[in-house]
Amino acid sequence: MSADGDSMNLTLKVWRQRTREEEGSMETYSLRNISPDMSFLEMLDVLNEQLLGSGAEPVNFDHDCREGICGMCSLVINGQAHGPDSETTVCQLHMRRFHDGDTIHVEPWRANAFPVVRDLVVDRSSFDRIISAGGFVSVNTGNPSDANSLPIPKDVAELAMDAAACIGCGACVAACPNSAAMLFVAAKVSHLGQLPQGKPEKEARVLAMVDAMDQEGFGNCTNHFECEAACPKGISVENIARMNRAYLAASITSRD
């Protein structure tokens, strides 16, 4: 790795694609004097400043909070979703993780259900449609109530909150050989289905969300566990097993 305080010279191979319809290709760029204290996105900002200065089109990429919260920074770096660090989003990946003289390949998520919009930006609205298929809880919430007014076992609360940590970035899909979205859907099903507020619709929810996932064209689980390894929030594949059991039970009791 680069020593702190030493600048780096890098070669970037970046996926460029003007529209959904056009074919894309990797283009090569050289960067000099990159600080190891920069985040990966800050390094891309430097690249874009260089491109704009030369009259070229900047590289389009998604970003928002740059604090590891929103999940927008969806990039495959040297073949790994979100890059080489575990449980880390691209915006929290620092250039000290690389070496002076490295060649870094940067690509968008690769999945039929995530079509490339332009360059490194993909359309992840399929996730929104899956969530919408889950519907809403029927419990009236009203004004904020005391946290102790609805007792929830500690293990159940922890399971639900661990699943709720999913930020919907899509790294699980990008890492899976079949482009499966089962970890994402399972996290949402576990989050909503474990708590009392979500139990009334839990059977209808799991059926609707899994059916929506299939309609969007995501693949089936490969049992490679690449999804868990790529997830920046460390969502466990145990949620997939839990969702499969819930789906089977709901299929037996709820379908005509």
- Model confidence pLDDT, tens digit, residues 21-76: 999 999 999 999 999 999 999 999 999 999 999 999 999 999 999 999 999 999 99
In this predicted structure, what is the pLDDT of residue 139? Answer: 67
In this predicted structure, what is the pLDDT of residue 135? Answer: 82
DSSP tag of 58: P
Check whether residue 159 and residue 112 sit in a common domain: no
Q: For residue range 119-136, what is the model confidence (pLDDT) as tens digits?
A: 999 999 999 999 999 987
Distance in angstroms (rounded) separating the CA atoms of residues 165 and 101: 36
pTM over 0.95: no
Residue 2 covered by a domain: no
C-alpha neighbours within 13 Å on the C-beta side of residue 162:
16
Check whether residue 167 and residue 73 sit in a common domain: no
Amino acid at site 171: A
Check whether residue 112 and residue 147 sit in a common domain: no
Check whether residue 78 and residue 22 sit in a common domain: yes
Q: For residue range 180-221, what is the model confidence (pLDDT) as tens digits?
A: 999 999 999 999 898 888 888 999 999 999 999 999 999 999
Residue 1 covered by a domain: no
Distance in angstroms (rounded) separating the CA atoms of residues 7 and 31: 11
Q: For residue range 77-107, what is the model confidence (pLDDT) as tens digits?
A: 999 999 999 999 999 999 999 999 999 999 9
Residue 89 covered by a domain: yes
Q: In which domain, by residue range, is 140 found?
A: 125-254
Which helix (DSSP H) or strand (DSSP E) does residue 125 occupy?
helix 125-133
Check whether residue 237 and residue 184 sit in a common domain: yes
Distance in angstroms (rounded) separating the CA atoms of residues 9 and 102: 8
| Residue 77 belongs to domain with CATH number | 3.10.20.30
| Residue 172 belongs to domain with CATH number | 1.10.1060.10
Domains in the chain, number: 2
Distance in angstroms (rounded) separating the CA atoms of residues 41 and 66: 8
Check whether residue 109 and residue 189 sit in a common domain: no
